[in-house]
Structure 1
Amino acid sequence: MARYILIATVVGSPQGGAYTTFGRGTCIADSEENRLPGDVVWPALCRAFNFTNMRPLDEAASAAMGGIPIMTLAELATSSIGGP
């Protein structure tokens, strides 16, 4: 399982979807099997993640990003990165 959270707005088209703006706090999953309710499944973004716009939510995502610590809700709430 690899899940990420956006800490800044990202624009793109996930897995055959329409070109859309995804705001800060959107959760991104690497596959349909790993998604939780409300997650956006976007395998391409999970393979070519952007260190500026996203942070890991689990150990698999942290490992994929080279050991970046998992982001907590408190860190997201107090982060000054990005916008609504």
Structure 2
Amino acid sequence: MDKDALAEAAARRTAAGGSELAPQDVERVIDALFGTVEEPGVIAEGLRGGETVTVIGFGAFQLDDDSRAVLRPGQALNAYVNATD
């Protein structure tokens, strides 16, 4: 799934709340969180500032011992991905 498909899927999910967000608006949020080539996102800025960025259920972004950004998946993400139908 590329960023466009991610934005479109997330926009469709917002319709459950009453009014669907435009995919372009969701893409701006994705860019703000994860960054672009031109500008870092708030996750990168937090990591650079020495913080761990945690999204409950999804996981935590942190720096490893070599100062590389890594995602430590949360319990809910692991449970969903590893579920057997």
* Structures share fold, TM-score greater than 0.5: no
TM-score interval for Structure 1 and Structure 2 normalised by the shorter chain: under 0.3
TM-score, normalised on structure 2? 0.23
Name the structure where strand makes up a greater proportion of residues: 1
* TM score, norm. by length of structure 1: 0.24
Larger radius of gyration: 2
